Amino acid sequence: MELHAEEIKARLKASVEAAGAIAFGVAKAGETDPALDGQFARWLDSGGHASMQWLERHRTLRTDPANVLPGVKSVVSIAFPYFRRERRPASLPRISMYACGADYHDVIRKKLKPLCREFEALTGARTRVCVDSAPIPERYWALKAGIGRRGDNGTVIIDGYGSFFFLCELLTDLPLPPDEPSTLECSHCGRCRKSCPGNAIRPDGTLACRRCLSFLTIERNPDEPLPDESRIALESEEGRATLFGCDICQLVCPHNAAILRSEADTTPAPVTETLERVLCLNPASMTDDDWETTTRGTALRRALKLLKANRP
């Protein structure tokens, strides 16, 4: 019996939610809004992306998901939560919450790949999973698919879950019934802007990356000269205590208050043991095999490698 598109969508949603997703929405594929393209172009032209040159190279690819999957008809936006109330020694440097577990690229792909194979077998359609790995404006498509509301700090906020989640996309050439796009916005309280150590959040919701602790501790090339505007963030109290990433603008957001008060995930993060070994052991005593074993599967691999290399 041939399945109707609504039934196919319902089955896919049920499978995705069973894999741990907290939100699922579908948007009709097509070219992105020219207003978004214009904002992105102005951000690039103003140097907001700092040294992340791949954003410049992929500028035109972002304007249509067909550049990623030719013939795409639907963009399925999916959110997986990553909030964890980590218990670790205060002496360890700060790490963004998303990076405290296993590398999310691998985790989410392992969740979605089998579902895609089942979906393809069921429908004969083609699919592609994008987990922060393709020139797709994720937050744009999340709002087009009806997931959440736009935050002033550039995040997408899901009522009841806040903004502590990973966005990913499932592209398919099967036309699925689209959901109602979201035009909701946050409460515009201004706390995210006021709390940012480097004053990195612009009025239009974009970031001045050279002022952002996340960029400075994850993406910045340490061999490049450090501009004065970056020192504001790095030499702040928060910057001096940070190793990798920043959650400040999310932690102060009132839309995250409920989950911050909850007892969600109180399991110590796997990265705590990794950090303790790297910071407390003599790096000279760690063989290459030991280093591989210690850091394998963590999003912190680059930062820890640099830390190890720079230690006496």
Task: Report, as residue numbers or ranges, the catalytic residues.
Answer: 132
DSSP-derived 3-state class of residue 20: coil
The two tokens of residue 98 are 């998303």
Report CA 233 to chain centroid distance, whole Å. 21
Question: What phi and psi, each to the nearest 5 degrees, are found at residue 298?
Answer: -105, 150
Distance CA 23, CA 52 (A): 29
Distance CA 276, CA 264 (A): 24
- SS3 annotation, 229-294: HHHHHHCCHHHHCEEECCCHHHHCCHHHHHHHHCCCCCCCCCHHHHHHHHHHCCHHHCCHHHHHHH
DSSP-derived 3-state class of residue 13: helix
Distance CA 228, CA 241 (A): 19
Residue spans of alpha helices (H) in the chain: 5-18, 34-45, 53-57, 104-123, 138-144, 191-195, 213-218, 228-234, 237-240, 248-251, 257-261, 271-280, 288-295, 301-310
Q: Classify residue 174 by burial, with Cβ atoms within 10 Å: 0-12, 13-18, 19+.
A: buried
Q: Are 71 and 14 in contact (CB under 8 A)?
A: no
| Closest C-alpha to 262, from 99, 85, 94 | 85
State the amino acid at position 123 in one-letter form: T
